[in-house]
Amino acid sequence: MKAFQTLIAGMALAALAGCAPPAPMMNMPEAGAPEAGPADAAATCAPPALNNTCAMEGCDFANISLPNCAAPDTNFTFYGDNFCSNQLTLIVVSAGWCVPCQQEAAEMQAQIIEPYRGRVRVVTVYGQNVSRNGVSASECMQWKNRYGLEGHMVFDPSGAVQRYFPNMAYPANLIIDRQGRIRYRIYGTSRGLQSLKDQLDGLLSE
């Protein structure tokens, strides 16, 4: 009941801000019915309606497609490839000129990608090169190889993800759940990666 009241309150706040939150009532358990557990989580795992432009926490993350660094002729779609098999997706946006991005990338594999494997899908987006311009596939791969990053590595030559991180605030991190809702976003770094780990741990325990 408390979770339902929290959901309704969140919907009301989002509506006042001018965005429609992804809260399909069909997925809410009926009164007295048990909440969905791990066994039936996949049944509610589906991309939301993606015709919104809201970038706030609680809104839907758009079904953006970006070129893969290793195969630039193919695109990575955020709601494809093992989206539903992980409880959360962490989107990490970096720029080559950004020193905090370099510091974050150097810690990402050991502190986030490896320990959260199987629960958190990490997608690294290379947004700008060292000259603050659009990026190429080769520059993107240099970033991936430099920091030994596993998982999905894409680049964003058109700035498709900038709606979520205005004013070019790098590094930028965004957490979305398996229903496509934006649960958390942070600009810059805070206590290294500890603030991000705290958020992941809290959301994974829900």
Topology of domain 2-204, per CATH? Glutaredoxin (3.40.30)
**Cα–Cα dist 170/202, whole Å:** 24
**Interval 106-149: pLDDT, tens:** 999 999 999 999 999 999 999 988 888 878 999 999 999 999 99
Residue-level pLDDT at 18: 30
- Radius of gyration for the alpha carbons in the chain, expressed in angstroms and rounded: 17
Confidence class for position 42, pLDDT limits 50, 70, 90: very low
User: How far from 138 is each of 46, 62, 75, 83, 95, CA to CA, in Å?
Assistant: 33, 26, 15, 26, 14
This prediction has a pTM of 0.76
The CB density around residue 61, as the number of other CB atoms within 10 Å, is: 28
**Interval 140-167: pLDDT, tens:** 999 999 999 998 999 999 889 988 887 7
Cβ–Cβ under 8 Å, residues 122 and 86: no
> What angle (nearest 5°) sits at the alpha carbon of residue 33, between those of residues 27 and 36?
50
Confidence class for position 82, pLDDT limits 50, 70, 90: confident
Mean pLDDT of all residues belonging to the chain: 79
> What angle (nearest 5°) sits at the alpha carbon of residue 110, between those of residues 109 and 114?
75
